[in-house]
Structure 1
Amino acid sequence: MAFAVGSLTAMAQNSQRVYQSHSLGTNGLIVETDQGKYQIRFYNQNIVETAFIPNGEEFEKDSHAVVLQPEKKGAKLADRQNDLLYSSKGMSVKVSKKPFGISYSYKGKNLLSEKEGYIKTDSTQNIDFQIEKEEVLFGGGARVLGMNRRGYRLNLYNRAHYGYGTHSELMNYTMPVVISSKKYAVHFDNAPIGHLDLDSKKTNTLRYETISGRKVYQVIAADSWEDFTYEFTNLTGRQPLLPRWALGNFSSRFGYHSQKETMETIDQFVKDSIPVDAIILDLFWFGKEMKGEMGNLAFHRDSFPNPEKMISDLDKKGVKTILITEPFILTTSKRWQEAVDNKVLGTDTEGKPFTFDFYFGNTGLVDVFKPEAQDWFWNIYKGLANMGVGGWWGDLGEPEVHPSALQHINGSADEVHNIYGHYWAKLVYEGYEKDLSNQRPFILMRAGAVGSQRYGMIPWTGDVSRSWDGLKPQTEISLQMGLQGISYMHSDLGGFAGDNLDDELYTRWLQYGVFQPIYRPHAQEAVPSEPIFREPKTKALAKKSIELRYQLMPYNYSLAFENNQTGLPLMRPLFFEEQDNKALLNVSDTYMWGDAFLVSTITDAGAKQKEVYLPKGNVWFDFVKEQKYFGGSSYTVQVEEDHIPVFVRAGSFIPMKKGMHNSGEYSLENFELHYYHDSSVKHGTGQLYNDNGETPKAYEKGEYELLKFTSAHSGSKLKLDIATEKGSNYSIEDKKVNWVIHHIEKQPKKVKWGKKNLDFTWDKNSRVLQFTEELQKGKNQSITIKLAK
């Protein structure tokens, strides 16, 4: 493949480094220089890795982020007069011999080039890249900076930002990843803390700075954003499928003080007929006071006299119990001596438990990297899981306070700080695989690293301000994290920090929550986060949102399956729809929820209207009002009190299920299948994934069914098909499919299943056609609608 010569390659040089020789072997291309050697290897045609090993150092093989194995074959080397061209079918690496330099291209398109290679200073090791002037840059983890993060120098040190609003340069979840609007990324595959400079000095320079560690990075490139997210999660791992109940509504606050309060709260949900699937117990489950008791990690029997019965009674109501845990063991806690005796804590340089003060008291920190500590911590989790606990909330896992002098088994605090949450999630996830292998874990945590999705981590956006300014950036954070492989980033619905009682804000946040990955209202307790404790009108509006969330569970669960198989985020930026529309690169308040829904948030008090851009090449329908819009334009839509603006793409299939009080009632024996017809759509597709909602890797085990929907429209005939794919170890039931076909302009002449005429209804005002037909076990269904001309 010819390498496109341009401005980037002209800058790809290192005047300090001298090429000496090269060789090709099982580890890829090895290039020897006077200062050390480069190892360049392809993972596949979309991903290449470059490692620099300075003279006198050994290559550090272990990556905390990467799970894909490099390919041994497929790359070709061309040795030309003054350069080497090492190429796959897609990616090419050009190594200039004199002056020395490395540049990258994808299918002939320049991506970026090293400026000087890794350079060591007194306190850091840095690498600079030349990038192009017009590139928009995403990445760096969770931040609030606007979608384009170019111009910032980002601290890579996971740290909570309490009460943030419309600007936050440092938050709980940082990642050394830069993603370009040119559909490529650079992942700096290294754990220690540092900085990511996204051209802050406006010299078209990308810089990675770190205190120590691996001098390794991967470049990932693709033809489309869908392909990019596929490849990035191919490299770093994919999210296991969540337990289905995790897509339901949570009851959560800081916090429930007693068994009595916990049960009474759920009883009120039942009384008000508001669906709920789980209740989360904050730190009062292990002690009465906020301070002095963290690390007990056992029920406080004074406040929770019979937790076994409580958990059992909640299970009977279809409600899971989730407990908060923290990695801090206070010196005043009941487990302090146990933790010391078992040598599970981070230490000082003499090997003694390192203790320090923070908000909750004097404490040590569990060394989650140490095998003995992993076993000790997991045995606590396992004991509680055997009691019936259904999931875990891991809090303060940045870690919240992590003194630099603290030593872990594998390095200093600063060397492992940013991967602490990653290994904590790994500990829990692998514990389930070993001891609770029939149960999908639920692992809610606020800090992790690149690749944490593969351990089932469900992160949230931290202690956001309970304000309109807190609501505004929530879509930006989730969309950015989805690009970086973390697709379940979500917010405390209603906002967390501050005693702000604002019913309109609460309503709008919960309406947005319908179309984000996890539906979990949560807040400080002075103002209730649960809808059951809000005034009647607000409660009714919240109930409507929660009921819609449950109706969409078949669609949402299918999105979760798609993410599990492909890495495609649940929330997707609009630029996924128009991949060459630069104006959309900065849009975050409007986004796609899967392939069918376009959602636009309301983040201002008293808003009466909202301007919404609808992507070109499609017809769109207002999800509530059914009004038709043509894509490629912005529209000013009227804002209603009981919903935010949501649109459906013509040609979409949306499976829905009504009437559930919680996910325990989930069944496809009787469900609705909505199809949004328009004459412009000749072919439409959709799918519905189903399993028992509990078994890990059910798809891989053949314990699933997958219904594939297609539409074909020609002339006066609309054909709708369901094809059933059945796993080898799955038993299928008959299904009553209640078809709801939207935007049929005139009363159809006939609806037929095979040769059988079906009874149907057609509403002249709504233009909705409805009929019902049974889908027999494992069979296919083909419906033909004869349309009026």
Structure 2
Amino acid sequence: MKERKNHKPTRLLKKFGLATLLPTLLATAVQPALAQPTPEAARSYQSHQLLEDKLIITTSDSQVTLTPLNNAALEIHYQREGLKQLPSFARAEKLTNQLKSDALAQLSVSEEALRYSLGELTAIIHKSPFAIEYLRDGKPLLSEEHGFFANQTMRGFRFNLAEQEKLIGGGQRVLGMDRRGHRLPLYNKAHYGYTTESEQMYFGLPAVMSSNKYILLFDNSATGTMDLGASEKDVLQFEAVAGRTSYIVVAGDTYPKLIENYVDVTGRQPLPPRWAFGNFASRFGYRSEQEVRDVVKKFREEDFPLDALVLDLYWFGADIQGHMGNLAWDEKAFPNPVGMMADLREDGINTILVTEPFVLSTSERWDSAVAANALAKNLAGQPKQFDFYFGNTGLIDVFSADGRDWFWNIYKGLKDQGVAGWWGDLGEPEVHPSDTVHTVGMADEIHNAYGHRWAQMLFDNEKAANADQRPFIMMRAGFPGSQRFGMIPWTGDVSREWGGLKPQVELSLQMGLLGFGYTHSDLGGFAGGEEFDRELYIRWLQYGAFQPVYRPHAQEHIAPEPVFHDRKTRDITREYVKLRYRLLPYNYTLAFENSQTGMPLMRPLFFDNENNLALMDNKDAYLWGNDFLVAPVTAEDTDEVAVQLPGGVWFDYWNDNQYGGDSARIKVNLETIPVLVRAGAFIPTVPDMRNTREYSSRDLRLDYYAHESAAQSSGYVYEDDGVTADAFSKGQYQKLRFAGERSETSIQFKFGLEGDGYTGAPESRNVELVVHNWQQAPAGINAGSQRINLVKKENQLTENTAWYDKRAKALHVKFGWAEKNQNLTVTQ
């Protein structure tokens, strides 16, 4: 929402058209805390049939279909005559890990129950009263309480909750990590200027992850609620006003495996283009072509790397109101957009445009949208018009072929001009009157899937236009499974204050655990702010170096770009931006892992100690990949941070101090935040660059953190050309593998290459191996059969030499890596 500061609530109601939703909101507000289903006769089993792998059960009031999705996931679909159903939005059309031939679903029948086993997940269907419970490895996992219910105004499910069970999920909320005890609205809704509390935000998810290692997903896009033991402490209830009456249960022996099984069902996030991991220039907003060119020039003058520039709504209008839907360049402000984008592209900078799904009746495209049947309808079958902040508007019906074709035709024209990526804003949709008619149903039936369908339209058409190209699609709202369309979410219009920074780790972790590993924040905060707070700004951008997308973005009265601030701010933030680029081998490998298994880039601490349930509540620190632990500084005037540790030994990334146990107190100054590295880790970095187009691992540094607790450790770097879609499956990649094995007298390092390579891959690499926590000069170093000599000074360090830094207790070894396999031994 592009709102000016200090709006009063009454102005918000008027300007944003919330009056059209007021009756619905009031009706919801006066409902009982937990709307009980109409009393029903106890459901009982009547018959069943096995159709291929689907188990279809007829009960006294419904048909129940159990569909295996993989060896650890089941869809359960209750259907009752006269109850409208919608297609599944959450499920991927093609599952990548279908049931294996040697582990087909097995059915056994007794007088009391049916036992339906997939291998990792088993459903026990009790006949009378009818109820389904789920087992993993023969142990209770989850069970229906009443199960399915439906009446004239509501439908949903009820499940039992275990006594000590914790529940993560529901998407973007600021409530703490464990959401048990909360009643969560399921209606994607903007929350402008939020800080440390929010029950309802831009991107809700009707799904939870349990501490008992299951995920429960309600595949229903309608307006609803998840009651996670708020009204009845041992009952999880999902309720919706309409929609598909199905849920999906996913099991896993570990949390990473649980996520992998889940994204196998809902779809894996494709690997973004490599430039998505670089620095973005973005604000609300650049008003002219000249301003764009001046901003890029400023980044170059101040020695800040830059990969992308984002244009907010001024690209199609001179001011905020009255232009939405034009989606064509304002020629007065941008006289030569094609030339501008070509020049940016020549400099390695990608142009991203904001687009919205609203077409104002005053816009240049209104008549075209009406003629093309592209807009959602009112109850009389005419284009639905309503007022909101930006003017009188209609809404593109992305659920209709006509709406999608009309919308994509605009995108295609812009793409042909040189646009590299898309930003979909206001896609909740921000205003969505209940009496809006879409092709597949009413607004309240499909509201939460609107952004999902919009992203799918973009992704499918991008792939059809160029199957070898990776799309960039950033959106504010979606539905479970939207990640398979390459959706990159952000956390909305956060307040530009310390209270806005505090919940950002929680928001990203919650989203990442349910498939959205690229959730990130407007670095520096977006909304409000009376004057520049240097400390807050620096802390936010420091945290940004270890989050999925590096994109400072804000209202323009305080510049969001670091290049426009004082020298001290520039110097500190420049180092973090450059550090992010140096860490590209590490970060890009995290992205590859996400594309293969769904593992988020930001990971909760409990992933490192699954038996410590207390770690599930930690919302202040996180693992960045496997080997970094990061704790952003979220309070002013901080010189020490208490960091909870998941166990093991950790090194301070800035000074090599060691920490262990359950917690650590880490000193910080304005130049540092707590960043720890796991003992035994290999951290790969490359030299500085102007943008990711210059990326190369020809000169590769590997920092190895030696410790007796890590006798064996390994790591790898994944590389491809950064642009080709599905490069890994096509064999167009390389994996650089490295491992260390410690004995009493030496460490043996092994280096190996996998894959057929890719366009631009180095033929050989110059490696600098830095062994941290090495207590004395080594007795000998051998690279294969070649002895490596020690030099006395750092400036004498060249290929096939080594230098021992006594002060830092670090050994630096330089050698060439050209062979597929290579060994290096350091003897004490």
TM-score range normalised by the length of the shorter chain: over 0.9
Question: Matched residue of 2:591: which SS?
Answer: helix
Whether 2:540 is the aligned partner of 1:509: answer yes
Aligned to 1:642: 671
Which residue of 682, 688, 691 maps to 1:662? Answer: 691
Amino acid at match of 1:584: L
Aligned residues: 772
Aligned to 1:682: 711
Whether 2:822 is the aligned partner of 1:781: answer yes
- Partners of 2:487 and 2:474 lie apart in 1 by 6
Q: Tell me the CA shift for residue 640 of structure 1.
A: 1.8
Question: Matched residue of 2:599: which SS?
Answer: coil
Whether 2:346 is the aligned partner of 1:304: answer no
Deviation string 1:709-734 (CA, Å, 9 cap, x unpaired) is 11111121211111101237657422
Counting only pairs closer than 5 Å after superposition, residues 497-576 of structure 1 correspond to structure 2 as 497-500=527-530, 501-576=532-607
| Contact 1:699/1:727 (<8 A) preserved | no
- Partners of 2:340 and 2:710 lie apart in 1 by 53
Which residue of 733, 737, 753 maps to 1:708? Answer: 737
Whether 2:87 is the aligned partner of 1:75: answer no
Question: Matched residue of 1:397: which SS?
Answer: coil
Deviation string 1:575-594 (CA, Å, 9 cap, x unpaired) is 00000101101001111000
Distance 1:328 1:683, change over 3 A: same
- Partners of 1:331 and 1:211 lie apart in 2 by 31
| Contact 2:184/2:200 (<8 A) preserved | yes
Question: Matched residue of 1:265: which SS?
Answer: helix
Q: Which moved more, 1:419-428 or 1:28-37?
A: 28-37
Q: Tell me the CA shift for residue 59 of structure 1.
A: 7.1
Question: Matched residue of 2:147: which SS?
Answer: coil
Which residue of 591, 614, 617 maps to 1:586? Answer: 617
Question: Matched residue of 1:146: which SS?
Answer: coil
- Partners of 1:441 and 1:296 lie apart in 2 by 23
Question: Matched residue of 2:202: which SS?
Answer: coil
| Contact 1:683/1:711 (<8 A) preserved | yes
Amino acid at match of 1:273: D
- Note the residue ranges of structure 1 that are not aligned, 5 or more in a row: 1-12
Counting only pairs closer than 5 Å after superposition, residues 78-227 of structure 1 correspond to structure 2 as 78-227=108-257
Amino acid at match of 2:198: S
Distance 1:58 1:173, change over 3 A: closer
Q: TM-score, normalised by structure 2?
A: 0.91
Q: Which moved more, 1:345-354 or 1:136-145?
A: 345-354
Deviation string 1:446-470 (CA, Å, 9 cap, x unpaired) is 1011011111110000000101110
Deviation string 1:223-256 (CA, Å, 9 cap, x unpaired) is 1111011111111011111111110111111011
Which residue of 742, 747, 750 maps to 1:718? Answer: 747
Q: Tell me the CA shift for residue 30 of structure 1.
A: 2.2
Whether 2:374 is the aligned partner of 1:347: answer no
Question: Matched residue of 2:663: which SS?
Answer: strand
Question: Matched residue of 1:664: which SS?
Answer: helix
| Contact 2:720/2:757 (<8 A) preserved | no
- Note the residue ranges of structure 2 that are not aligned, 5 or more in a row: 1-38, 789-800
| Contact 2:734/2:758 (<8 A) preserved | no
Which residue of 68, 75, 98 maps to 1:42? Answer: 68
Question: Matched residue of 1:672: which SS?
Answer: strand
Q: Tell me the CA shift for residue 220 of structure 1.
A: 0.7
Which residue of 302, 310, 326 maps to 1:272? Answer: 302
- Partners of 2:497 and 2:590 lie apart in 1 by 30
| Contact 2:770/2:811 (<8 A) preserved | yes
- Partners of 2:619 and 2:553 lie apart in 1 by 23
Whether 2:724 is the aligned partner of 1:698: answer no
- Partners of 1:756 and 1:37 lie apart in 2 by 72
Q: Which moved more, 1:767-776 or 1:172-181?
A: 767-776
Counting only pairs closer than 5 Å after superposition, residues 314-463 of structure 1 correspond to structure 2 as 314-463=344-493
Question: Matched residue of 2:146: which SS?
Answer: coil
Q: Which moved more, 1:636-645 or 1:53-62?
A: 53-62
Aligned to 2:35: none
Distance 1:367 1:652, change over 3 A: same
| Contact 2:768/2:813 (<8 A) preserved | yes
Amino acid at match of 2:816: E
- Partners of 2:84 and 2:283 lie apart in 1 by 49
| Contact 2:90/2:266 (<8 A) preserved | no
| Contact 1:43/1:49 (<8 A) preserved | yes
- Partners of 1:565 and 1:243 lie apart in 2 by 15
Q: Tell me the CA shift for residue 281 of structure 1.
A: 0.7
Q: Which moved more, 1:564-573 or 1:735-744?
A: 735-744
% identical equivalent positions: 46
Q: Tell me the CA shift for residue 41 of structure 1.
A: 2.8
| Contact 2:375/2:397 (<8 A) preserved | yes
Which residue of 753, 763, 778 maps to 2:805? Answer: 763
Q: Tell me the CA shift for residue 440 of structure 1.
A: 1.2
Deviation string 1:433-454 (CA, Å, 9 cap, x unpaired) is 1113332111111101101111
| Contact 1:395/1:446 (<8 A) preserved | yes
- Partners of 2:57 and 2:279 lie apart in 1 by 55
Q: Tell me the CA shift for residue 605 of structure 1.
A: 0.6
Distance 1:60 1:387, change over 3 A: closer
Q: Tell me the CA shift for residue 64 of structure 1.
A: 4.1
Aligned to 1:745: 775
Question: Matched residue of 1:22: which SS?
Answer: strand
Amino acid at match of 2:264: N
RMSD of aligned residue pairs (Cα, Å):
1.7
Amino acid at match of 1:766: A
